[in-house]
Amino acid sequence: MTTTRLESFSDGVLAVAITLLALSITVPDPVPGQSLAGALSKHWPEYVAYATSFMTIGIIWINHHAMVRRLNAVDHVILTLNLVLLLFIGLLPFTTALMAKYLNAGHGQNLAAAIYSGSYLLMSIAFSAMNRNILFRKAHLLGVDLDERERRRILTRGVTGLGPYVLAVALAPLSAYATLAICGAVAVFYALPIASGGDISTT
Amino acid sequence: MTTTRLESFSDGVLAVAITLLALSITVPDPVPGQSLAGALSKHWPEYVAYATSFMTIGIIWINHHAMVRRLNAVDHVILTLNLVLLLFIGLLPFTTALMAKYLNAGHGQNLAAAIYSGSYLLMSIAFSAMNRNILFRKAHLLGVDLDERERRRILTRGVTGLGPYVLAVALAPLSAYATLAICGAVAVFYALPIASGGDISTT
Amino acid sequence: MTTTRLESFSDGVLAVAITLLALSITVPDPVPGQSLAGALSKHWPEYVAYATSFMTIGIIWINHHAMVRRLNAVDHVILTLNLVLLLFIGLLPFTTALMAKYLNAGHGQNLAAAIYSGSYLLMSIAFSAMNRNILFRKAHLLGVDLDERERRRILTRGVTGLGPYVLAVALAPLSAYATLAICGAVAVFYALPIASGGDISTT
Amino acid sequence: MTTTRLESFSDGVLAVAITLLALSITVPDPVPGQSLAGALSKHWPEYVAYATSFMTIGIIWINHHAMVRRLNAVDHVILTLNLVLLLFIGLLPFTTALMAKYLNAGHGQNLAAAIYSGSYLLMSIAFSAMNRNILFRKAHLLGVDLDERERRRILTRGVTGLGPYVLAVALAPLSAYATLAICGAVAVFYALPIASGGDISTT
């Protein structure tokens, strides 16, 4: 199978998942005597969680493209690893809604934060597993010439990227806010121009 | 019509259906005095049904590509058979949510399991019907050279794949859990590298 | 603008709309002492409305492709007419859900049927308006050579197709069932091989 | 990265967002003794908000294509600016639903109108920021030859387009209806053939 249809299907799933995120933003029911401003501001975790997940999925999309375009063709193992990656991305609208609902709920926020950052971590692990398979097991499918050191460098960079999510999960039992802050900081960091030396393709 | 737009439209429907599956995962409302862990663990059938349907749609996507790329062009009958196939795939978010809601509901689980596995079966029958039409009625549209024996082998393999779903439907009146287990096992089996000798294209 | 991105965006909207239809199928809440079979069978209008709208959108997709591939390029008027067409297609998940909910509701079914068939009619009018603009005002953009008679024949066939929907809307005040039956019959008719001499491209 | 995958991902997000708009149209529950016509007509703001947002997203799609096809390739900054643009477009189903729900709610309509028109304004600012970056910082990526004056003209036209939205936001505290009317008028204006001399590509 060529990479074209893999990319088009993955783009579709990513585009739907990223747009479904907005469904978890509450449109408060009008309640006489209660201001809309107050009702909306109570839901601020939804806006933060939306922006964080939106940028994170967006960055995964950029990195996914950089990973796949190294290939001339894909085999069954790559397709399956890609499906597993998409499976975790497909969960993000759910875990984002969970995080947003429980951050200020008075209970359950630590578990919600662990699940939220955990879904990012699983997504990143699936990404690195797919990248590892492509770089070290599928040399015959690669369309670019990468020596051992270069391939190791790419993979290491991806695995290093897991660090903040491990930390975010580890901090979840202590503070859900810290977890959310770390996930948000990761999204902002990778969106900055300084990150463009990474997996992300610059022309 | 060339196959390009058939693929792009089908990819779109499959990508939306696979991502909508997550909408059926419940975000429990916070209830004071009730732990989130307890609320989430009660919904475990949703996670199993999600993963099973996700991988099943993913495998159908892989097989769909293998089926369509044998064609140089499509005619009205192929387009219609493809629409019927997509119609059943479009139902999966509904049947998956039904299965997940009733597995532990105390009643209705057998009917829900029959409908769930039945929707997989109908999807597979529609797939085989489309494949049969392509392989045996549309020789003039085929872009690859397949002799009678080879075509019969491809079709037989697809029809054989119906077996587990027939069994899953048949067992639904006895045990909804058995039905779910079979559907899950089929998804895992086809995701394993060993299945790649099947309809699935390896480079 | 080339037709490629018009097609890819339109395919996207059609794929999302066709897949969202399933969201209007009710997953009944488990009620102790009430059978799931009974709960599901009460919702039969949803299944009929789903299948009818699914096939209708699918046929519009086929015809849309046949219409657009006659073009080498598109201009602002074509883009706008296409947006209006998509606007009505985007309404179908709403009008389908409305029809399904009111068919057996005891009141409102005639209005719901008029809106349902009316949305099909508006969609078909928008389609014919776009086709008319392409065939008679945009000769310089056409990539195929069609004489006056041939263009008139194509447009007439499309306008003739409005007939059943006009009838379906007209019958809505008398019988919502008759309206639904006509819309369903149209979908079945165009899916049959006999209809392939129409706008639909056969290789 | 070539522009192809940027376009296909953006098309996907735009197609999903535009189609999700219809989810915010209420299918009223049947209430004995209450006419469906009355129930539907109470929801007229939803229809106006739907049509306005649909055409607005459609026009952004047209302009987005005109902007991106000037490029031969994209870099990290363009990808990030594009993500920010998509983030605001992804919010439109939410802000549209909010506007529709509060226009006649008796309270909160001014804030809802400010958020609604504000989301259009933010979307337009993100669009202009991306266009500015492309036209003035990414000369080496441009695939078309545009002199300074021409580039300034394109950007000015886009920034001028912000004017009506600034007015719509400014009027929100006075009249939510005025805000909605302006946003609707903008959508109608850009859909008219007269607007085609703008950013929109004619053949």
Which residues lie below 8 Å from residue B156, measured CB to CB, with a gap of 6+?
A: none
The CA distances from residue C148 to C135, C145, D18, in Å, are 9, 10, 37
> Is C105 in CB contact (< 8 Å) with chain D?
yes
Residue B76 CB-half CA count within 13 A: 18
Contact B98, B116 (CB under 8 A): yes
Residue C12 to residue D15, Cβ atoms within 8 A: yes
Residue A12 to residue B7, Cβ atoms within 8 A: no
Which ipTM was obtained for this model?
A: 0.91
Give D25→chain C minimum CA distance, Å. Answer: 7
- Per CB-CB distance under 8 Å, the chain A contacts of D74 are 203
Average confidence (pLDDT) over B24-44? 93
- What pLDDT does residue D202 have? 32
Whether A120 shows a pLDDT value over 60: the answer reads yes
Residue owning tokens 């209420």: D26
Chain centroid to Cα A36, Å, comes to 32
> Is D58 in CB contact (< 8 Å) with chain C?
yes
Name the residue among D143, D166, D133, D153 with its Cα closest to residue D198: D153
- What's this model's pTM, rounded to 2 decimal places? 0.93
Average confidence (pLDDT) over D144-162? 88
- Per CB-CB distance under 8 Å, the chain A contacts of B15 are 9, 12-13, 15-16
Residue B6 CB-half CA count within 13 A: 24
**What's the CA gap between B98 and B96, in Å, rounded?**
5
Tens-place pLDDT, residues A58-92: 999 999 998 998 999 999 999 999 999 999 999 99
> Is A2 in CB contact (< 8 Å) with chain D?
no
Residue D148 CB-half CA count within 13 A: 0
Which residues lie below 8 Å from residue D202, measured CB to CB, with a gap of 6+?
A: C75, C76, D196
Identify the sign of the CA torsion D176, D178, D179, D184. positive
Q: Please report the residues numbered 106 through 125 in chain A whose beta carbons come closer than 8 angstroms to any beta carbon of chain B.
A: 106-108, 111-112, 115
DSSP-assigned states of every residue in chain B: --HHHHHHHHHHHHHHHHHHGGGGS--PPP-TTS-HHHHHHHTHHHHHHHHHHHHHHHHHHHHHHHHHTTBS---HHHHHHHHHHHHHHHHHHHHHHHHHHHTTSSSSHHHHHHHHHHHHHHHHHHHHHHHHHHHHH-GGGBSS---HHHHHHHHHHHHHTHHHHHHHHHHTTT-HHHHHHHHHHHHHHHHSGGGGGSSS---
Residue owning tokens 């007419």: C81
Residue C65 to residue B5, Cβ atoms within 8 A: yes
**Three-state secondary structure of A131-170:** HHHHHHHCHHHECCCCCHHHHHHHHHHHHHCHHHHHHHHH
Number of Cβ within a 10 Å radius of residue B77: 18
Identify the sign of the CA torsion C178, C182, C188, C189. positive
Residue B27 to residue A111, Cβ atoms within 8 A: no
- What does chain C come to in residues? 203
- What pLDDT does residue C196 have? 52
How confident is residue D193, by pLDDT bands cut at 50, 70 and 90? Answer: confident
Name the residue among B61, B94, B60, B53 with its Cα closest to residue B180: B53
Measure the N-to-C terminal CA separation of chain B; round to a whole number of Å. 26
Q: Please report the residues numbered 63 through 102 in chain B whose beta carbons come closer than 8 angstroms to any beta carbon of chain A.
A: 65-66, 69
- What pLDDT does residue D201 have? 35
**What's the CA gap between A201 and A172, in Å, rounded?**
33
Number of Cβ within a 10 Å radius of residue A53: 28
How confident is residue A199, by pLDDT bands cut at 50, 70 and 90? Answer: very low
Q: Count of CB contacts below 8 A, A vs D?
A: 106
Query: C2, C10, C80, C84: best mutation site toward chain D, by most D Cβ within 10 Å?
Result: C80
**What's the CA gap between B107 and A27, in Å, rounded?**
34
How confident is residue B16, by pLDDT bands cut at 50, 70 and 90? Answer: very high
D194, amino acid identity: I
Whether B25 shows a pLDDT value over 50: the answer reads yes
Tens-place pLDDT, residues A142-188: 888 888 899 999 999 888 889 999 999 999 999 999 999 999 999 99
Query: C27, C35, C44, C48: best mutation site toward chain B, by most B Cβ within 10 Å?
Result: C27
Tens-place pLDDT, residues B127-148: 999 999 999 988 888 888 888 8
Name the residue among C31, C30, C26 with its Cα closest to residue C42: C26
Whether A196 shows a pLDDT value over 80: the answer reads no
DSSP-assigned states of every residue in B188-203: HHHHSGGGGGSSS---
Q: Give the bridge partners for C142, in sequence order.
A: C71
Angle, alpha carbons C17-C20-C24 (nearest 5°): 130
**What's the CA gap between D88 and D92, in Å, rounded?**
7
> Is A25 in CB contact (< 8 Å) with chain B?
no
- CB-nearest partner of C22 from B75, B94, B108: B94
Q: Please report the residues numbered 156 through 195 in chain B whose beta carbons come closer than 8 angstroms to any beta carbon of chain A.
A: 191-193, 195
Average confidence (pLDDT) over A106-127? 96
**What's the CA gap between C17 and A16, in Å, rounded?**
12
**What single-letter DSSP state applies at residue D2?**
-
**What single-letter DSSP state applies at residue D133?**
I
- Per CB-CB distance under 8 Å, the chain A contacts of D87 are 51, 54-55, 58
Ranges of chain C whose pLDDT falls below 70:
194-203
> Is C41 in CB contact (< 8 Å) with chain B?
no
Tens-place pLDDT, residues D84-114: 999 999 999 999 999 999 999 989 999 999 9
Task: Name the 3-class secondary structure at C142.
Answer: strand
Chain centroid to Cα A70, Å, comes to 21
Residue owning tokens 């393709």: A201
- Per CB-CB distance under 8 Å, the chain D contacts of A16 are 12, 16
Torsion angle of the four alpha carbons B92, B93, B95, B97, in this order, in degrees rounded to the nearest 10: 150
Tell me whether residue C143 is exposed, middle or buried, using C-beta atoms within 10 angstroms of its C-beta: 0 to 12, 13 to 18, 19 or more. exposed
Task: Name the 3-class secondary structure at A108.
Answer: coil
Number of Cβ within a 10 Å radius of residue B37: 10
- CB-nearest partner of C37 from B15, B16, B111: B111
How confident is residue D139, by pLDDT bands cut at 50, 70 and 90? Answer: confident
Tens-place pLDDT, residues B77-121: 999 999 999 999 999 999 999 999 999 998 999 999 999 999 999
Which residues lie below 8 Å from residue D44, measured CB to CB, with a gap of 6+?
A: none
Contact D16, C16 (CB under 8 A): yes
Give residue limits of the domains in chain C.
3-24+45-197
DSSP-assigned states of every residue in B155-181: HHHHHHTHHHHHHHHHHTTT-HHHHHH
Burial D28-47 (b: 16+ CB within 10 A, else e): bebeeeeebeebbeebebbe
Residue D115 CB-half CA count within 13 A: 23
Tokens of A191: 């969106």
Contact B15, A90 (CB under 8 A): no
Contact B67, A142 (CB under 8 A): no
- Per CB-CB distance under 8 Å, the chain D contacts of A192 are 80
Residue B20 to residue C23, Cβ atoms within 8 A: yes
In terms of phi and psi (left: phi > 0; alpha: psi -120 to 50; beta: otherwise), the region of D146 is: beta
- What pLDDT does residue D164 have? 95
Give chains near C: 3+ CB pairs under 8 A.
B, D
Torsion angle of the four alpha carbons B160, B161, B164, B169, in this order, in degrees rounded to the nearest 10: -100
